[in-house]
Amino acid sequence: MPEIGRIVKVMRGKDEGGYAVIIGVIDERFVLIADGDKRRFDQPKKKNVTHLLLQPVVSHEVTDSMRESGRVTNAKLRFVIQKFAQLKGE
């Protein structure tokens, strides 16, 4: 189930193979994703959930920041994705 703060791997589109973080849930089919680099918080990508591979990791830093202020910094998004990639060994 998609939720804010969950890390995803993009399986379709020009960002294919990259990681991003869900920063918004539109409905059961579509979410908003950002990676803090090419796809920034201010310009999130609307993505079909079927085109994403949901990872078993939810970033509490992103979740807490979104709950407190309604936004998250691009640096925090980059940090979370980089930390996840290191843990995964990529």
Token pair for residue 8? 């995803």
* Average pLDDT rounded to a whole number, residues 39-63: 96
Sign of CA dihedral 82, 84, 85, 89: positive
Angle formed by the axes of helices 74-88 and 60-69, nearest 10°: 160
Q: How does residue 18 score in pLDDT terms, banded at 50, 70 and 90?
A: very high
Residues whose CB is less than 8 angstroms from the CB of residue 24 and which lie 6 or more positions away in sequence, other chains included = 4, 31, 32, 44
The predicted structure's pLDDT at residue 89: 80
Instruction: Report if pTM > 0.85.
Output: yes
Q: How much is the pLDDT for 9? A: 97
pLDDT band for position 24 (50/70/90)?
very high
pLDDT at residue 82 greater than cutoff 90: yes
Burial-class residue 52 by CB neighbours within 10 Å (0-12, 13-18, 19+). Answer: buried
Domains in the chain, CATH or no CATH each: 6-88 (2.30.30.30)
Predicted pLDDT of residue 88: 83
